[in-house]
Amino acid sequence: MAQVPVRPVRGGLPAFLVLAGSGIAGGVLLASCSAPANGTATPREPEVIYDTTCGYCHGHNVGPIIRGRQLPAETIEFFVRNGSGAMPAFKPTEISPQELSALSEWISTSKADSTEHGQ
């Protein structure tokens, strides 16, 4: 069987070694940028989750007002995980169980916000 010549690139290294090294370095870089393993990430505050996720619809005439209604926390958790109608379900990778527990309790006990408008 004939051998295929390997052409060196800069510095005299064969091209496949340069590519392999680039792939490994890229993988290490991506791994260092990823979120910590489950349970080790710092949970977001309920107000932050509401403002960035829930309030977009539930405070701007898209979905119903949910603050100030004293909805049971269990009901809120059910709808967050399962969705309803136009509301999507949110996975544990989007809102962690710990965050959902704090969020549902916060919504359940929150006062109405006069700046919010819903259906």
In order of their start, the domains of the chain are 46-109 (1.10.760.10)
- Taking the C-alpha atoms of residue 44 and residue 119, their distance in angstroms, rounded to an integer, is 27
The pLDDT value recorded for residue 4 is 60
The pLDDT value recorded for residue 89 is 98
CB atoms within 10 A of CB 5: 7
The pLDDT value recorded for residue 30 is 41
The pLDDT value recorded for residue 35 is 45
The pLDDT value recorded for residue 3 is 65
Instruction: Please report, in tens digits, the pLDDT of each residue of the chain (119 residues total).
Output: 666 665 655 555 555 554 444 445 444 444 433 344 445 579 999 999 999 999 999 998 899 999 999 999 999 999 999 999 999 999 999 999 999 999 999 999 999 998 888 77
The pLDDT value recorded for residue 7 is 61
Nearest to 113 by CA among 72, 54, 73: 54
- Taking the C-alpha atoms of residue 75 and residue 114, their distance in angstroms, rounded to an integer, is 23
